[in-house]
Structure 1
Amino acid sequence: MSRTLMVSDVHGCLEPLERLLIEVDYDSSRDRLILLGDYVDKGPRSKEVVERVMNLVEHHGAVALKGNHDQRLVELIRTPHAEVRTKFVEHGGVQTLNSYLNRTDEELSGDMLREAIAVIDATYPSHIRFLASLPYYYEDDRQICVHAGLNPRFADWKSQPAHDFMYIKKEFHEAPTRVAKKVVFGHTRAQELHGSSEIWFGGDKIGIDGGCAYGLQLNCLIEESGSYSTHAVRNPL
């Protein structure tokens, strides 16, 4: 593979993802595509993004990691207790349900939420199995890719809790890593890290979440022969 392309936090924004892949001239015969999680919620086309990611993995050899929003959708369908339902709705889940049910509701009643869970469970079990099966990290010769980050308290980062892979923020951002490779992550918008939606190069770590679902941009970090470059597409809402 001549290039490694890394993209994170698509959040239901299908059109920017497709445009980005075209603009970077993605070719699965020569490029390795790493998707760092959070395919659903907030944006308008979560179902279609999951379908696209499944296709990229199954037919083009892409690597897809699990983000916290992906895990939350799995939990909603498999263990929909009150706390899961509340967090799902509060963090962009209504848009995901609208995507799967072809609706445009801005709010969901309890009955509507139960109906949506039943429909997704019955009609899209392959999506839930796919999201549930995703790995938490990807490592190659040059970098470690993960949705949220590595907990610096663990000498063996692979032994950290699953929750850290999907949720960690400040503790990871503010401390040196304990690994020799760059750690590429999403989850935290680059704007929160350095006041810009451009990719954040933080020494031993690189933050690539451009805040696409917030009307900012979808970033691609491109690694080729040990050097990094970037490309971004805007997503005006």
Structure 2
Amino acid sequence: MKRLLVISDMHGQIDAFNALLEKVHYSMEEDLLFLLGDYVDRGTNPKAVIKKARALEKQGAIALKGNHESMMEKALIGKNLHAVSHWAVNGGAQTLASYGLTIGSVYRGIQDGTLTLPDELQSDLDWIQQLNIYAETEHYFFVHAGVDPEKPISETSEDTFLWIRELFFKGYHGDKTIIFGHTPTVNLHESHDSYDVYFGENNIIGIDGGCVFGGQLNCLTLPAKTTEHVG
């Protein structure tokens, strides 16, 4: 049986991402890798993380969308000024900088109808648009933020899968184990002093180690439920 490896919330930290893959001895022939989103924003090189994620996907990895990719879509594809402002305060400036752009130039380009995106950025946006929101196996459900415990999957909105927090943490009691990122695990552990993978008693496993906030980048291995990290 292949190892299932799960990583989330790289946030432009390409060096940590590469180091973690090396540390767990990732092999596209031997392992199935799940990436749970938030490749962009806040970190030093979001463009490089997307490039790496796209390359891994071509080798067989399963890449999912995060809420930061969703914000990027709404700002740059929707060309919505409010969405640009929202993205900017959540790290969008660092993402644009990695492509040689600024928030100000994008904002003005949308205002006057002259916005033209570099080909590489447009290609990455096209890739982001086709990303799945969740993936599942017989025993596990992989998603960026979580699920609504009060609704069936078929009736759940994309925003819920990408943004939910408290209702999911406290209310989920399903049979499948939910593997998620989005919320740094320091906010899930009772002691609030650990960025390690969080194993909830109600069949949830949080893996966002808050790498871009000075924490660590985690990798969960299934079905063994072992962990590795860098940072």
CA distance in 1, matches of 2:183, 2:33: 20
TM-score by length of 1: 0.89
**8 A Cα contact 2:106 2:115, kept in partner:** no
Match of 1:76 in 2: 75
Choose which of 175, 187, 208 in structure 2 pairs with 1:192.
187
Match of 2:36 in 1: 36
Name which of structure 1's ranges 18-27 and 66-75 shifts more when overlaid on structure 2. 66-75
Match of 1:98 in 2: 97
Listed one character per residue, the Cα deviations across residues 128-186 of structure 1 (whole Å, up to 9, x for unaligned) are: 011011001010122100000010111x2232111111000011011133x31110000
CA distance in 2, matches of 1:127, 1:70: 10
Choose which of 142, 155, 158 in structure 2 pairs with 1:162.
158
Match of 1:9 in 2: 9
CA distance in 1, matches of 2:7, 2:166: 21
**8 A Cα contact 1:142 1:182, kept in partner:** yes
CA distance in 1, matches of 2:132, 2:106: 31
Match of 1:130 in 2: 127
CA distance in 1, matches of 2:39, 2:97: 15
Identity %: 34
**8 A Cα contact 1:208 1:220, kept in partner:** yes
**8 A Cα contact 1:100 1:120, kept in partner:** no
CA, structure 1 residues 25+113, in 2 after alignment: closer, same or farther (shift >3 Å)? same
* Equivalent AA in structure 1 for residue 179 of structure 2: V
Query: How many correspondences in the alignment?
Result: 224
Match of 1:48 in 2: 48
**8 A Cα contact 1:77 1:121, kept in partner:** no
CA distance in 1, matches of 2:143, 2:154: 11
* Equivalent AA in structure 2 for residue 53 of structure 1: A
CA distance in 1, matches of 2:171, 2:115: 43
CA distance in 1, matches of 2:106, 2:60: 37
Match of 2:215 in 1: 216
* Equivalent AA in structure 1 for residue 99 of structure 2: Y
- Structure 2: runs of 5 or more not aligned: none
How is 1:19-34 mapped onto 2 (pairs within 5 angstroms)? 19-34=19-34
CA distance in 1, matches of 2:120, 2:218: 32
Using the TM superposition, give the Cα deviation of residue 91 of structure 1 relative to its aligned residue in structure 2, in angstroms: 0.2
TM-score by length of 2: 0.91
Using the TM superposition, give the Cα deviation of residue 122 of structure 1 relative to its aligned residue in structure 2, in angstroms: 4.3
Q: Which of the two has greater strand per residue?
A: 1
SS at match of 1:227: coil
CA distance in 2, matches of 1:54, 1:20: 17
